[in-house]
Amino acid sequence: MNILRVAGDTATPVEDVVASEEPLELRLNGFSFAVLMRTPGDDGVLAAGFLFAERVISSADDIERLEPCTDRDHPHARNILNVTLRGQALGNLDRMLDERRCIVTSSSCGVCGRLSIDSLQVHAPFIDTPLSMARDVLRSLPDRLRQRQSQFDESGGLHAAGLFSREGDCLGAYEDVGRHNAVDKLVGRALIDRALPASSRVLVVSGRASFELVQKAFLSGIPVLAAVSAPSSLAIQLAEAAGITLVGFVRAGGFNVYTHPYRIMRQR
């Protein structure tokens, strides 16, 4: 798009690339369930991760089909995804629709649409895994994630999330206007690949560590969550209770470990 770039006293018309954000309507067996504000692309894994985080599904077996809207006359067909549930998830569909308000979930919030504070609580096994990693590997992860942010290079307006091994190998990464969407895409991919719980993996996010990101890591069995920026107080409380090693302000020079520091070792 054409913009006016101002530097000092100079204003120059230039062409710029901006991050794409569009709504995605999720329909469960024909019923509208949620509208997500997201960066288009990878909608199937985004839906799977989102529905897993919302406890609509518990495994890939709960999904019969993920398919785009086939109504060519619908003006928003490209932004509608039909999800067909089966098994226990299908049996719980009426209750899930009754318990959740069908509203827009913004790209900055991963817990919109809940009916009560109690509904934010999740139940998953305490993460008690022997995974450990070297400090120098942990410090390197934001730069390794940055190398996978091709869309950020163009627009500068996207968050990223990556899943890494304890040795620092990137096993997958996604970008999105919403940091929780990027995590949902990662989790959705792992869910479809039947790679959950991800008990030997490290989750790295490009922004802050909020409550909903720790919650997604908890449900996915991920023992270490590293963020480039700060964690919130509620994120720290949940990480402590869940058994997650929560690390913030990860930079080349160091980082802060807020919970369960025993997983971060001095040497390889």
pLDDT recorded at residue 265: 87
pLDDT recorded at residue 51: 96
Closest CA to 157 of 20, 42, 16, 24: 20
Residues in CB range of 9: below 8 A, 6 or more apart = none
Whether 37 and 103 have beta carbons less than 8 Å apart is answered as: no
The mean per-residue pLDDT over the stretch 87-107 comes to: 77
The tens digit of pLDDT for each residue in 181-201 reads 999 999 999 999 999 999 999
The mean per-residue pLDDT over the stretch 46-50 comes to: 97
Say how many C-beta atoms besides its own lie within 10 A of residue 169's C-beta: 10
Whether 53 and 191 have beta carbons less than 8 Å apart is answered as: no
**Arithmetic mean of pLDDT over the chain:** 87
The mean per-residue pLDDT over the stretch 132-158 comes to: 83
User: If pLDDT is split at 50, 70 and 90, which confidence band does 43 have?
Assistant: very high
CATH number of 133-265: 3.40.140.10
Cα separation, 162 vs 174, whole angstroms: 7
Is 109 an annotated catalytic residue? Answer: yes
The one catalytic residue among 69, 109, 112, 170:
109
- Which fold, 22-120? Ubiquitin-like (UB roll) (3.10.20)
Whether 177 and 37 have beta carbons less than 8 Å apart is answered as: yes
User: If pLDDT is split at 50, 70 and 90, which confidence band does 20 have?
Assistant: confident
Cα separation, 42 vs 162, whole angstroms: 15
Domain boundaries, the chain: 22-120, 133-265
Closest CA to 199 of 172, 218, 179: 218
Whether 109 and 179 have beta carbons less than 8 Å apart is answered as: no
pLDDT reading at 72 higher than 50? yes
Could you tell me the two tokens for 3? 């913009």
Lowest-pLDDT choice from 5-9, 190-194, 243-247: 5-9
